[in-house]
Amino acid sequence: MSYAEFAPLPALAPFVRCVWMFEAPGPGGPPTRIVPDGRPELVIHCGDRFAEVARDGTTHAQPRILFAGQVTKPLVVKPLGRASVIGVRFHPAGALPFLGRPLREVTDARIPASRLLGRSVTTLLYELETMTTAARIQRVQEFIAARIDGGTAERDLIVEAAVARIEANRGYVDVAALAADAGIGRRQLERRFGDAVGVGPSLLASIFRFRSVFDLMERDATRPWTDAALAAGYYDQSHFIREFRRFVGVSPTEFARTAAELAEALAQPQAYVANVQAAMATAR
């Protein structure tokens, strides 16, 4: 298996955090829990699709190209065969000009992109079938840039500034102060967040605060959960565990067991990433 992230084209930097790829040979693989990170995504299955796993164990296949809104509830997915996925991870408020509709409409949903974006999605998928990974990453970004340039939805700079402040403070902000500094009422700020981000500022702050624990763990995999949670500002362990079950659906110990297995499987030589980056640079 291999996973890598790449910086977006300069023109997409205000909207896109990164482009990522995941590849794995079939048949299938174990379920993976998705941890909320406050960022919507466009996901393209160039190989076999993934399935979402419900609490009762039933599954349903994802669309070949889907738009995934904010994740605020436990989400489990598993590959159905040979995986070859290209994903575009937007900034929290970066998908509004691309999607062209309120992000609240797609929160906790994975929707066929054709339903949201029209027939151009089918053409895109056809083009990607015979491309290399580097060429796919380039073409998907061109598709997004063209839609943003040709769209009518405008960026919400007030929300973007508030999001940047929430992220910089790892979720520890006063929402009333955010609204006051923006010169608008709290209710209006919450409405604008729903349109541009998909969730309100308080919930986004909770997600960033929760996610900061994982960022600390990624820098030091041997660090205990309790220590990372304390460093992230969770002074009440029971509060952290409640948040963990709220967003992930299992305890930290249960999640760590499966995450360690996945991390080991995803270990890859840096040369692989370098080769894809070199091919992307050549394509530009």
Distance between terminal CA atoms of the chain? 27
Place of tokens 């979402």: 52
Q: Out of 142-146, 183-187, 273-277, pick the least confident.
A: 273-277
- The pLDDT tens digits of the residues spanning 211-254 come to 998 888 878 878 888 888 988 889 888 889 999 999 999 888 88
Do the beta carbons of residue 101 and residue 116 sit within 8 Å? yes
CATH code for position 256: 1.10.10.60
Determine the structural domain holding residue 168 and report its residue range. 157-262
Q: Are residues 137 and 164 both part of a single domain?
A: no
Place of tokens 């996945």: 262
* Confidence bin at 65 (pLDDT 50/70/90): very high
- The pLDDT tens digits of the residues spanning 130-179 come to 999 999 999 999 999 999 998 777 899 999 999 999 999 999 999 999 99
**Residues ≥6 apart with Cβ < 8 Å to 70:** 36, 38, 39, 40, 103, 106, 107, 108, 197, 198, 199, 207
Average pLDDT, the chain: 88
Q: Are residues 149 and 165 both part of a single domain?
A: no
Q: Are residues 48 and 19 both part of a single domain?
A: yes
* Confidence bin at 61 (pLDDT 50/70/90): very high
Residue 91 clears pLDDT 90, i.e. is over it:
yes
Q: Are residues 145 and 277 both part of a single domain?
A: yes
Q: Are residues 242 and 116 both part of a single domain?
A: no
Q: How many domains does the chain have?
A: 2
CATH code for position 142: 2.60.120
What pLDDT score does 63 carry?
Answer: 95
